């Protein structure tokens, strides 16, 4: 158990430190995998580089992601331990506004983790969560435990939202003809490079915006949404995010 720690409200990094404490608590409760704490640290480092704000390249991706959700026939939200601990309420809200079910899908499939994550989601108001019924399908292209999916969820989905994702699943899902949307603060990571839409932003900022755009785009005509989606370039987004970080670092170096 971690020691009870008192973080003063006037600490310059109060919010980030509270989030860190929340992740440690999630790890103690088995919601977050120990490796999830390392992922959180890497995310924090990239968030520093973008200045902890949602930049226009992320907003473009959020708009394209909103289109992808609305255009899909069977969208699904894949939930891992980090996401469940960081933004449970927003996952439930996103599921409500988009009609996409939540599916627990873990890389580190340790006994008790699915149940712990299910508890967190249900506490946040989730009525139906896939990936826990015991009914399973296998994505043969994958060798990690992420290959085990729900036949009613990721297996039959035409669009999968995979925030804070590791490795090679995105490539496999795309090869199966599914549209893949991710959120990842690291534009150099494999997933954003293989996804159709990569939101380079902190999930804590991106999900509220995504839910908001889905609500406001719902009244748009299908052709308009398709045109908006087609005008989006993921390569351009990744390039812009890297240029933004590089220029920001150069500008900060001049202030030292
Ligand atoms: O719960 P499990 O077993 O499914 O495992 C989940 C983790 C996150 C441990 C697993 O998917 C993993 O190992 O992921 P990676 O390879 O560490 O990749 C996670 C990515 O998320 C990294 O590129 C981080 O930069 C990014 N990231 C971390 N925190 C945030 C983030 N991106 C956006 N918002 C964050 N808060």
Find the 191 Cα to ligand 1 centroid distance in Å: 10
Cα separation, 154 vs 132, whole angstroms: 13
User: Of 1-10, 158-167, 170-179, 207-216, which one has max mean pLDDT?
Assistant: 207-216
The rounded distance, in Å, linking the Cα atoms of 105 and 160 is 12
Whole-number Å distance between alpha carbons of 78 and 95: 11
Distance CA 66, CA 215 (A): 9
State how far the Cα of 154 lies from the Cα of 8, in Å rounded to an integer: 43
Could you report how far apart the first and last alpha carbons of the chain are, in Å? 40
Cβ(77)–Cβ(104) below 8 Å: no
Q: How far is the CA of 164 from the centre of ligand 1 (A)?
A: 4
pLDDT at 4: 66
DSSP 161-196: E--S--TTHHHHHHHTT-EEEEE-S-TTSHHHHHSS
Give yes or no for residue 108 CB within 6 A of ligand 1: yes
Tens digits of residue pLDDT in 159-183 = 999 999 987 899 999 999 999 999 9
DSSP state of 5: -
Structure tokens at 238: 């990744």
Q: Are strands 129-130 and 75-79 parallel, antiparallel or unpaired?
A: unpaired
pLDDT at 8: 82
pLDDT band, residue 19 (cuts 50/70/90)? very high
Q: How confident is the model at residue 7 (pLDDT cuts 50, 70, 90)?
A: confident
Q: To test the ligand 1 pocket, which listed residue (16, 82, 83, 200) has its Cβ within 8 A of the most ligand atoms?
A: 82
pLDDT tens per residue, range 96-127: 999 999 999 999 999 999 999 999 999 999 99
Share of the chain above pLDDT 70, in %: 98
**Cα separations in angstroms, 229 against 45, 63, 131:** 30, 8, 29
Is 164 a pocket residue for ligand 1 (Cβ < 6 Å)?
yes
Radius of gyration (Cα) for the chain, nearest Å? 18
Taking residues 26-54, report their average pLDDT: 97
Atom 7 of ligand 1, residue of closest alpha carbon: 36
Q: Whose CA is nearest to atom 21 of ligand 1?
A: 164
């Amino acid at each position: 158990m971690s020691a009870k720690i008192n973080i003063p409200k006037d600490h310059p990094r109060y919010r980030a430190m509270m989030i860190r404490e929340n992740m440690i608590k999630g790890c103690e409760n088995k919601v977050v995998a120990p490796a999830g704490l390392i992922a959180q640290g890497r995310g924090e480092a990239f968030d520093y580089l973008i200045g902890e704000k949602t930049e226009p390249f992320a907003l473009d991706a959020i708009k394209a992601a909103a289109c992808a959700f609305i255009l899909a026939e069977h969208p699904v939200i894949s939930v891992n331990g980090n996401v469940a601990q960081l933004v449970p309420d927003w996952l439930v809200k996103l599921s409500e506004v988009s009609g996409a079910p939540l599916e627990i899908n873990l890389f580190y499939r340790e006994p008790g983790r699915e149940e712990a994550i299910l508890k967190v989601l249900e506490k946040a108001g989730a009525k139906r969560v896939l990936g826990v019924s015991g009914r399973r399908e296998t994505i043969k292209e994958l060798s990690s435990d992420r290959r085990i999916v729900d036949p009613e969820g990721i297996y039959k989905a035409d669009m999968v939202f995979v925030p804070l994702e590791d490795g090679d699943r995105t490539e496999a899902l795309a090869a199966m003809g599914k549209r893949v949307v991710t959120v990842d603060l690291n534009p150099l990571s494999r997933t954003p490079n293989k996804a159709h839409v990569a939101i380079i932003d902190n999930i804590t900022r991106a999900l509220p915006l995504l839910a908001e755009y889905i609500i406001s785009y719902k009244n748009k005509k299908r052709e308009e949404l398709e045109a908006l989606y087609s005008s989006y370039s993921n390569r351009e987004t990744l390039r812009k995010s890297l240029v933004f970080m590089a220029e920001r670092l150069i500008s900060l170096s001049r202030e030292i």
